[in-house]
Amino acid sequence: MEYRTLGRTDLKVSAICLGTMTWGEQNSLDDAIEQMDFALAAGVNFFDTAEMYPVPPRPETQGRTEEYVGEWFARRGKRQDVVLATKVSGRSEATGDWKHLRGGPRLNRQHIHQAVRDSLKRLQTDYIDLYQVHWPERTTNFFGQLGYRHKEQHDLASIEETLGALSELVKEGLVRHIGLSNETPWGVMEYLRHAREDDLERIVSIQNPYNLLNRSFEVGLAEMAIREDVGLLAYSPLAMAMLSGKYMHGQKPAGARLTLFDRFQRYSSPQAVDASEAYVLLAKEHGLDPATMALAYINSREFVTSNIIGATNLEQLQSNIASIDCELSAEVEQGIEALHQRYSNPAP
């Protein structure tokens, strides 16, 4: 396993991060424990979860994923071996009111302090290594939106208030470091500006989508990630498994996420399907497993700190972790770039 420094901290995290969002919906507690055991044994020391998991989000299951992680810590006593990341939810037009989360989640001081304490209880730990803002409270282009359309909003929790509350958690010792998710270049720079000007905690990472169907991170955020040491934690690296080839030619495997849940259409447009099949064919032409090729490409980008993989069974997990040992040839990379020119970000 390869290890990389998380921002400007002294933490070394595995270049492969174990994602957890299916645990409690598609995966049982026993499945989750089996995956955590396997991942840690394979050198993965970085686990990522969120207070809203599992997905699809439902009041009946909210928080169950964190509970599974907490149960593993209680059974195995391995808390010190893991860099643990979780996230706080805020208000969003994209997600709805979510009254089951604190009556409707916000990113103000009161909600953030309550959220972290609730997460700590479910996780059965007294600290979180990386606490992330799951998405901006303001309306902006995330969750599949490339274009920005401005909307005046006067009742938002400000970035200054959010960052101030997160900084208080660090001072209390409940959180070691803080990060962002689904954020834009403007948002990143605002968090950095307030950290600098107001002597608040500095963000160390950004968790955004990044895969062969969506390389929009490269446009404005990759330079920031490198120059400001705010590395990418890449989520959805297989574009919800579209890049694995399992959905080729309209297949709908039993138990697969896109088979079970209609809400996951982000990577299923006609353009995305065409692009996915082209990348799968490219991998096969070079004798590569399509998922391995797609993950290896993410692993090799200099602005990526860690690649967040998710699996519903051990076979997938083993294959995904093994991608760290795959080095793509110049010919394969040229093929990927040629396809990127033909299918430029078909699934934002």
Tens-binned pLDDT, residue by residue, of the chain (348 aa): 999 999 999 999 999 999 999 999 999 999 999 999 999 999 999 999 999 999 999 999 999 999 999 999 999 999 999 999 999 999 877 667 788 999 999 999 999 999 999 999 999 999 999 999 999 999 888 887 888 888 888 889 999 999 999 999 999 999 999 999 999 999 999 999 999 999 999 999 999 999 999 999 999 999 999 999 999 999 999 999 999 987 776 666 655 555 455 655 678 788 989 999 999 999 999 999 999 999 999 999 999 999 999 999 999 999 999 999 999 999 999 999 999 999 999 887
DSSP state of 291: H
pLDDT of 183: 97
Q: What is the pLDDT of residue 254?
A: 59
| C-alpha to C-alpha distance for 298 and 81, rounded to whole angstroms | 25
> Of the residues 53, 131, 279, 297, which is catalytic?
53
Terminal-residue alpha carbon distance, the chain: 30
Residue 76's contacts (CB-CB under 8 Å, 6 or more residues apart) are 36, 37
Helix (H/G/I), strand (E/B), else coil: 323 = helix
* 309: DSSP letter: E
Q: Per the structure block, which two tokens stand in for 183?
A: 């954020």
Largest CA distance in the chain: 55
Residues β-bridged to residue 211: 214
Distance CA 194, CA 154 (A): 20
Q: What is the C-alpha separation between 196 and 201, in angstroms, rounded?
A: 9
Tokens of 97: 């009111």
Domain boundaries, the chain: 3-207
* Residue type present at position 1: M
233 phi/psi in degrees, rounded to 5: -100, 100
Per the annotation, the verdict on 53 as an active-site residue is yes
For 3-207, CATH gives: 3.20.20.100
